[in-house]
Amino acid sequence: MTADEQNPSRRKFIANVAGSASALAAVGFSAGELLAQGTPAAPQGSWDMSWVDRLARAKHKMVFDAPWMAEGMALSNAVTWLNGYSEVYKTTDAEMGAVLVFRHKGLPLILNDEMWSLLTYGEDEKITDPATGATTKRNPFLKAAGGRGGVSLFPNGDVESLIARGATVIACNQALMRHVGPLAKAANISRDEAQQKLIASVVPGVIRMPSGVFATSRAEEAGCQFLRSS
């Protein structure tokens, strides 16, 4: 009998480590990178899975996976999908189940203007503010109303408009927690403060899930077709 067979706790520990390593590889960053950011913060209470129940009532379902910003491709793809079904089949938004999953480098699309001003998303992605012509310090994908100007190809191809139409918009919590260190440094605050500030920066109506990989898988299990949108 081996040492592992004699020690069930050791076998369980090894299995957990192996599973964690696989999960980290799936979301696109190493164990070292995650440990440098600290343990991901769970939300208060249980995870909100009501969006899966809503999908069950939709006639047509699609999940748009957005691991990169890609100039808001996930937003444009979702609007194109909704408009296409409306034009051909005269569908209503209530019949449609659009799920947009923002994870990895795509996460900033669902963070508020304050977070864009504190960190360097506009500079990193070379995104120009349509209103000023300079590198953006706000989230130009957030809304189209109010004379802000936006980068969407569609008048209603922004985060807030899609949420208003009934789309489910998901934030990857693992990706969110990767920004704790950079924010703590940029804002000269503690990691705990940075963590809470990041959670508060998620756009109202966006649902946090443990990971974008989990959310995409769960959407497919609920009947969504998959479209990579970056």
- Concatenated DSSP letters for 184-207? HHHHT--HHHHHHHHHHHBPTT-E
For 42-228, CATH gives 3.40.1260.10
What does the block give as tokens for 109? 């699309």
Residue 139 · residue 68 · CB < 8 Å: no
Residue 60 β-bridge partners: 96
Q: Where are the domains of the chain?
A: 1-37, 42-228
The predicted-structure confidence for 147-205, as pLDDT tens digits, reads as follows 455 566 677 889 999 999 999 999 999 999 999 999 999 999 999 999 999 999 999 99
The string of pLDDT tens digits covering residues 13-33 is 334 434 433 333 333 333 333
> Could you read off the pLDDT of 62-110 as tens digits, one per residue?
999 999 999 999 999 999 999 999 999 999 999 999 999 999 999 999 9
